[in-house]
Amino acid sequence: MRGLFILVTLACFATAQHQALIDYLERRLLAIEDRISQWHEQTTRFASELRELKQQMVSQLDNLDKEKEALRMNLDGLGTRVDRVERELDYLETQNGAQPCVDVDDKLIEQQVTLVKENQKAKYSKFSDCSDMISSIKAMKILKRVGGPKGMWSKDTGRSSGKVYIFNGTDDDTIWEFASVQDFTRSQGMSLSKNLKLPSPWMGTGHVVYNGHAYYIDQAEEIRVVKYDIKNKSVTDSAVFPVQDHVPMYSLTPETPMDLAVDEEGLWAVYATRQNERHISLAKMDANSLDIEQMWDTNCPRENAEAAFVICGTLYVVYNTKQPGRSHVQCVFDVNGMVTSEDAPLVYFPKRYGAHSSLKYNPHEQLLYAWDDGYQILYKLIMKKKLEI
């Protein structure tokens, strides 16, 4: 009996221990489940907070984009207003130009008078009905800024063509052609243009586009004029200009060995030689054969000369003045002797940036196409008859 009691006692003790272990394990499992539930709640809460933070950041970024666009539009509008004010100021300066400050040597005056008298004896053999000259500059319009500080841009000056041609730089072989001035103005850079590859690089900024051909200089040692057919993409003719020891005409653009020009009477060449080093010379060229029809040594000094152009057989030379941001026509030479520098009105250019690297006259529009430190500018001219002087 005693042994049976001991066995029963041991069995009861083992059962109690087993039950205690089960109870302990149940409590532990409950505690773990409770912590897992807390972690799940915290994770859900954190995920919700992150979503809310992301939505707030997206909303703030959208607001910043809207504010950035509004600021950009305000800046664009401000830039447009500033440009308009500058153009108006330039126009007012044009209408009320100050007198130039030029020191003239007495000996130089005497030489100029002698040259004028000599050149007046040689009348230009070609007669035409063209008798206009510049009275003043009515207004200027800055179209765009594209390319480098030096270059040339123009329409075809021999026909009523809407195409615009860009010669960027002073040494390149690619012309950029735009279908119209509007395309050129709204184009981002050269994006709306097509490029025309020339057979040889041009020199300087003295080129012209005339009757479907590009006339340009491709040699500096011997001045060679090239006539290039734009439509057929071929060289029509070329000729070496018959002068020796030529020198640059413009001190501000020494890369230009000769400046070609077109007016109502055709093709002209503006140049300078060592024999007449202090003054600019002028020649009338046959646009078809590139032959020289007649040549003149003018009384227009090379010193401080900036650019030149021809209207109705009259050469206008633009000089860089001592006044900041200003240039003006200081010397006029008429091949028919009808106009002299003393007779011609003083014409000021409202120049804003650097110096004109080219000025190209369009006889159909009576506009000057100017390149000024990478800015493409149009000058509207007011004309008068030479006999009205």
Look at residue 75 in the predicted model and tell me its pLDDT.
74
- pLDDT for 44: 83
Helix, strand or coil, per DSSP, at residue 35: helix
Strands annotated E in the chain: 132-145, 151-155, 164-168, 174-178, 194-197, 208-210, 213-219, 224-229, 234-240, 259-263, 266-271, 279-285, 292-301, 305-311, 314-320, 327-334, 347-349, 356-362, 367-372, 375-385
Q: Residue 164's pLDDT is what?
A: 95
User: According to the model, what pLDDT value does residue 21 have?
Assistant: 78
pLDDT tens digits, one per residue of 58-101: 888 878 878 877 777 777 666 666 655 565 555 455 444 444 33
- Res 285: pLDDT: 97
Rg (CA), the chain: 40
Domain map of the chain by residue range?
1-96, 104-388
Model pLDDT, residue 382: 92
366 Cβ contact partners less than 8 Å away, ≥ 6 residues apart:
380, 381, 383
Q: What is the pLDDT of residue 23?
A: 76
Rounded-to-integer distance, Cα 80 and Cα 84, Å = 6
**CA neighbor of 305 nearest in space, from 375, 371, 370, 252:** 252
**Parts of the chain with a pLDDT under 70:** 1-14, 76-128, 160, 220, 322-325, 351-352, 387-389
Tokens of 22: 């089960």
- Report H helices in 122-243: 181-186
Q: CATH classification of 104-388 is 2.40.128.630, yes or no?
A: yes
Q: Give the model confidence (pLDDT) of 276-325 as tens digits.
A: 889 999 999 999 999 999 999 999 999 989 999 999 999 999 998 766 56
Residue 9 has what pLDDT? 64
CA angle 234, 238, 244 (to 5 degrees): 155
